[in-house]
Amino acid sequence: MSDPKSTGNGAGSSKRINRLLNKVMSELRTFTEEQARHINELAAIGRAMSAESDTNVILEMILSKARDFTHADGGTLYLVNDDRDKLDFHVLHNATLNSFMGGTSGNPVTIPSVPLYTEDGKANHQNVSAHVAATGEVINIPDVYEAEGFNFEGTKKFDESLKYRSMSMLVVPLTDHENDIIGVLQLINAQDTQTEETIPFSDELVDITTALASQAAVMLTQQKLINDMKALFDSFVKAIATAIDEKSKYTGGHIARVTELTMMIAEKLNAVQEGPYTDIKFNEKEMEALRLAAWLHDTGKITTPEYVVDKAKKLETVYDRVDLVKSRWHTLRYARELEAEREKQKYLSTNGKGDPEKIREIEEKLEADLAALREEFEYVDRINFGGEFMEDEKIARLHDIAEYTYEVDEEEFSFLNDNEIYNLSIRKGTLTNEEREIMNNHALMSIKILEQLPWPKHLKEVPAIAGAHHEKLDGTGYPFGLKAEEISLQSRIMAVADIFEALSAKDRPYKKPMPLSQAIKILGFMVKDNHIDADVVDLFISSGLVFDYAEKYLDKSQLDIERESFLAERAESKKAKAEAS
């Protein structure tokens, strides 16, 4: 027969066991859910950091999420500097003190860097963050005021000055894929979520923070590699541009100036709040594509012969052939002097002393002939510069001069050969039609060269933008004769920048530095001829950018118009036209 009392006790034990099991299951469920949440959050953080390209945002995210996980009141994120001799503060948070520096806060970090080495060159183990950077250890301190082995005098002074109490501290290294320490994550004062009291960092929080630090290090390393590759590519692009500019002693700095002016116009377009560009804005990737296209727009000139790129005068090839013409002029002069001397000798041998008037007549004719020859050579020398337009009358005079002949060893030669006549007959500038085709071909070559590069998705349009800077809205440009609707806004902006730089440049040997007013007028003529974009030109001029550029790069002698009065007059003219229409 069973004992009732015993049965009752057994039932009571079972209830206690059930309660205990339920409590364990509840805590286990809570723990499991907490772990699952942490894993999900770590995964979400990884995805967020992978998608972010701004290092400041990534750094902010690392520290914020570490504080969220550990319920830390504050924290600091250090990165090892490039020389690997200091830890630089990059982000600093303290909720109690409402102190936020670095990262995306907009407040610069003013705290000095932490040296990784002492004055005698040994590793700095007195500072806990420097120790972690040197050893790779994870340091978990329940109370910094009772900790041994590290110098926390600075922390204590900080606390005293701000009435704060630093207590628990967790310091975790950020280690990259090569096991190098790239930074240190330091958290302070873990908070009990129920009582808000400061407590030590638990082992569980240490594990989570270490996992987050490892993930963060991967992201930072990845971002650094991306930034380093971008910097390397940018440097390479600028090196190529410098080499192209230096190919000609007359166009040094052209590409850099065009790039600067292109980006000035694009940035102004992004900033305007009214007008045709109110709803058109370039995003960061489009701005990067435009900047690279501007730096690379003349890449094709690598294939252009130097004698074409550098042709400052009409008769110039690898040297200026006007010297050959000058030597022939000397030959003609000497021949005419010899002819006059022979004529005098012949007369004197026939007539004795002869008539002084006849001798004077021969000498005066010689002087007239030499003056005419000198004038003709000076004309050839002048039109060789290409600074004046060659009308039909000037070309006709050139052909008359070419009729002069001289003899060498009883063989007759013309004063100018056919090729020299052809070059000197260039109506505008210094290039023949064939040379201009060679020069124009650089735009097509820019496209061909740039299309060989494996551009990332957001830079795919760089070759097309760069290659279209000589296209015209009416379809008469090159290399493809594109019409207005086929030319991107980026290329239109670069076209204006390229043209204005060429017009206003003060270092071109074939023309005098052009006054600012004339350069602006020519842009206006090109707008009327439907060659360049009217809205881009108006933005460039009416915004005052034209003066910003001119004051930086033009000679004072070129600045022949006053900014305020010109812009005011232009604004009034635009207003009147708008009211009339």
CATH of residue 520's domain is: 1.10.3210.10
| Residue 201 included in any domain | yes
Beta bridge partners of 93: 75, 100
The DSSP letter of residue 457 is G
Give the residue from 225, 255, 277 where a domain finishes.
Answer: 225
Please give the Cα distance from 358 to 344 (Å, whole number): 9
Q: What is the DSSP code string of 178-189?
A: TS-EEEEEEEEE
- Above 60 in pLDDT, residue 189? yes
- My answer on whether 552 and 478 are in the same domain is yes
pLDDT for 41 equals 59
pLDDT for 467 equals 94
Give the residue from 354, 389, 424 where a domain finishes.
Answer: 424
pLDDT for 8 equals 53
- Residue 560 near residue 521, CB atoms below 8 Å: no
Which whole number is the average pLDDT over 128-155?
94
- My answer on whether 365 and 507 are in the same domain is no
Please give the Cα distance from 378 to 411 (Å, whole number): 26
| Residue 262 included in any domain | yes
pLDDT for 252 equals 62
Amino acid at 547: F
Both tokens assigned to 238: 């600028």
| Residue 139 included in any domain | yes
Q: What is the mean pLDDT of the chain?
A: 86
pLDDT for 134 equals 94
Contacting residues for 96 by C-beta, under 8 A, at least 6 apart = 73, 74, 164, 189
Relative to beta strand 86-94, strand 114-115 is antiparallel
- My answer on whether 193 and 59 are in the same domain is yes
Both tokens assigned to 102: 């670095």
pLDDT for 567 equals 94
- My answer on whether 183 and 62 are in the same domain is yes
Q: Give the pLDDT band of residue 14 (cuts 50, 70, 90).
A: confident
| Residue 418 included in any domain | yes
**Most trustworthy range by pLDDT among 266-275, 340-349, 498-507:** 266-275
- Above 50 in pLDDT, residue 23? yes
Rg (alpha carbons) of the chain, rounded to whole number: 40
| Residue 83 included in any domain | yes
- Tell me the pLDDT tens digit for each residue of 419-469: 999 999 989 888 888 888 887 888 899 999 999 989 989 999 999 999 999
Question: Beta-carbon neighbour count of residue 250 at 10 Å?
Answer: 15
- Give the chain's domain count: 3
Which whole number is the average pLDDT over 58-83?
89
Beta bridge partners of 191: 198
- My answer on whether 343 and 451 are in the same domain is no
Which whole number is the average pLDDT over 130-144?
95
pLDDT for 580 equals 82
Please give the Cα distance from 499 to 521 (Å, whole number): 12
- My answer on whether 64 and 207 are in the same domain is yes
- My answer on whether 348 and 460 are in the same domain is no
Comparing CA positions, the residue from 512, 554, 508 lying closest to residue 248 is: 508
Q: Give the pLDDT band of residue 42 (cuts 50, 70, 90).
A: low
> Using H for helix, E for strand and C for coil, what is the string for 480-544?
CCCEHHHCCHHHHHHHHHHHHHHHHCCCCCCCCCCCHHHHHHHHHHHHHCCCCCHHHHHHHHHCC
The DSSP letter of residue 193 is T
Please give the Cα distance from 165 to 156 (Å, whole number): 8
27 vs 144, higher pLDDT: 144
Please give the Cα distance from 68 to 86 (Å, whole number): 27
- My answer on whether 152 and 286 are in the same domain is no
Both tokens assigned to 478: 């090159």
- My answer on whether 465 and 526 are in the same domain is yes
- Residue 540 near residue 265, CB atoms below 8 Å: yes
- My answer on whether 352 and 465 are in the same domain is no
Amino acid at 148: E
Please give the Cα distance from 193 to 84 (Å, whole number): 38
pLDDT for 49 equals 56
- Above 70 in pLDDT, residue 325? yes
- My answer on whether 287 and 330 are in the same domain is no
Q: Which domain holds residue 170?
A: 18-225
- My answer on whether 197 and 292 are in the same domain is no
The DSSP letter of residue 156 is H
Question: 545-553 and 489-504 are packed helices; what angle lies between their axes, rounded to 10 degrees?
Answer: 40
| Residue 437 included in any domain | no
- Residue 96 near residue 73, CB atoms below 8 Å: yes
Give the residue from 362, 396, 424 where a domain finishes.
Answer: 424
The DSSP letter of residue 78 is E
- Above 90 in pLDDT, residue 540? yes
- Tell me the pLDDT tens digit for each residue of 278-321: 999 999 999 999 999 999 999 888 888 877 877 878 888 877 88
The DSSP letter of residue 25 is H
Q: What is the DSSP code string of 121-145?
A: S-B--SSHHHHHHHH---EEES-TT
Q: Is 530 buried (19+), middle (13-18) or exposed (0-12) by CB count in 10 A?
A: middle
CATH of residue 75's domain is: 3.30.450.40
pTM over 0.85: no
| Residue 430 included in any domain | no
Please give the Cα distance from 194 to 191 (Å, whole number): 9
Q: Give the pLDDT band of residue 414 (cuts 50, 70, 90).
A: confident
- Residue 448 near residue 301, CB atoms below 8 Å: no
pLDDT for 1 equals 45
Q: Give the pLDDT band of residue 51 (cuts 50, 70, 90).
A: low
| Residue 7 included in any domain | no
pLDDT for 43 equals 55
pLDDT for 249 equals 62
